[in-house]
Amino acid sequence: MKLVRDVLIGFVTTSDPGSERGPANIITVAKAKLPQVIYLLYTDTTQANRDALHEWLRADRELAEVEVRDLKLDLPDVTDYGRLATLLPEELKKISKSHPGAHFHLVSGLAQARIIFALCLHSQLLTGTLWEVNPPEPPKPRPYKAPPPRELDRQACEQRLERWPTAIFDAFREKFLERYRAIRLRIDLPARQAWLDNRRLDLRAAAPRRGEGDTPQPRTFGLLVLLAAKKLYGGGDDIVPKALIKETAYSDQKAHAPINIRRAIHSINRQARRLTEGAAKPLDPLIVDVKRGGRPIGCYRLTNRLNPPDETIEFVGDLRQFLEQIGVKLSSPGARSMFPNLP
């Protein structure tokens, strides 16, 4: 089996293979790096460019024997990031598996494909280098005819190459991880679920009452959402009155049975103690019973160990919609004063 050290993967554009000013991106990298295999990724729009690339490569003495493989992409719109993000990673994984141990050179004059290439390298779908190809020297003022491919200067092609700075993704990844690690309470509204320090809280919804259908009211979850929303968007005031909890998260129970909010809070706090026991700052208790003069005043808030809330609390989903669903009338003056910073 022939050892393949260098593989070039080029996303063919309408600029390939080149112009009177000189070779475009794929030919420039091929000439500079002399890979053993070249993959040409093309679409219906660039099929003619792919054919011209084949002719150019065959005419160059150093590249004539390189193995060229064509890969047609079902991509009507080459600027469609969503489609590119689906297609390219899968194709690059297949190519990488075909050449274990090879170094992959990636290039494209298309900005969208270049970004996806960079992300594929960053996520280690394959190992290699993304090349930026600088423009050739300005054309001479006199009529100028491009030299045939076999007369291309390899050193001139090499000088046009510049590594695309994929390291910037590492910097942003560290920023993301730093923020991710700082978030201690993460609430997923569509899933009706919450996590403390990436460990799931058990927030079982109340069982539906007879004759009321199969959808239970997420009372304990609603209680936690109210407290977290107040902490995050209350403009510095993080206290939630028990009356608001009764009118919203527990509204379906108002006329039927005793409302035991303290039981729900005790359950959440017991879990918070267990889930965060080994943390530098255990969330014990997570929910605080607000007191004045040593006596409870019928209000609750989340612990100050979740300060600053914009760094330690995260909602996934539409918070406004959820609050409306549990009965918070966000258009009312009272609700607007309750959550003054809610976007």
Instruction: Give me the residue label for tokens 């005790």.
Output: 266
Task: Measure the CA angle with vertex 269, ends 226 and 310; round to 5°.
Answer: 45
Angle, CA 334 vertex, CA 328 and CA 338 arms, to 5°:
75
CATH number of 183-338: 1.10.10.10
Q: What is the bridge-based pairing of β-strands 295-302 and 287-292?
A: antiparallel
Q: Which of these CATH numbers, 3.40.50.300, 3.30.450.40, 3.40.50.10770, 1.10.3720.10, describes 6-171?
A: 3.40.50.10770
Q: What angle do CA 88, 45, 80 make, to 5 degrees?
A: 45
User: Can you read off the two tokens belonging to residue 14?
Assistant: 């309408």
Domain boundaries for CATH 3.40.50.10770 within the chain: 6-171
Phi–psi pair at 2, nearest 5 degrees: -70, 130
pLDDT in the model for residue 258 = 62
Structure tokens at 84: 């590119």
Residue 302: its pLDDT value, please?
Answer: 97
Q: How far apart are CA 14 and CA 128, in angstroms?
A: 25
pLDDT value at residue 203? 83
Residue whose structure tokens are 């290039």 = 107
Give the contacts of 265 (CB within 8 A, at least 6 positions apart): 223, 287, 289, 300
Specify the domain boundaries for CATH 1.10.10.10 within the chain.
Answer: 183-338
DSSP bridge partners of 193: 188
Cβ neighbours of 156 (radius 10 Å): 15
Q: Write down the pLDDT at residue 212.
A: 45
Full pLDDT tens readout for the chain, 343 residues: 567 899 999 999 999 988 777 789 999 999 999 999 999 999 999 999 999 999 999 998 899 999 999 999 999 999 899 899 999 999 999 999 999 889 999 999 899 999 999 999 888 888 899 999 888 766 555 555 555 555 567 888 888 888 877 777 777 777 777 778 889 999 999 999 999 999 999 986 544 444 444 444 578 999 999 999 999 999 999 999 999 999 898 887 645 556 789 999 999 999 999 999 999 999 999 999 999 998 999 999 999 999 999 999 999 999 999 999 999 999 898 888 999 999 8
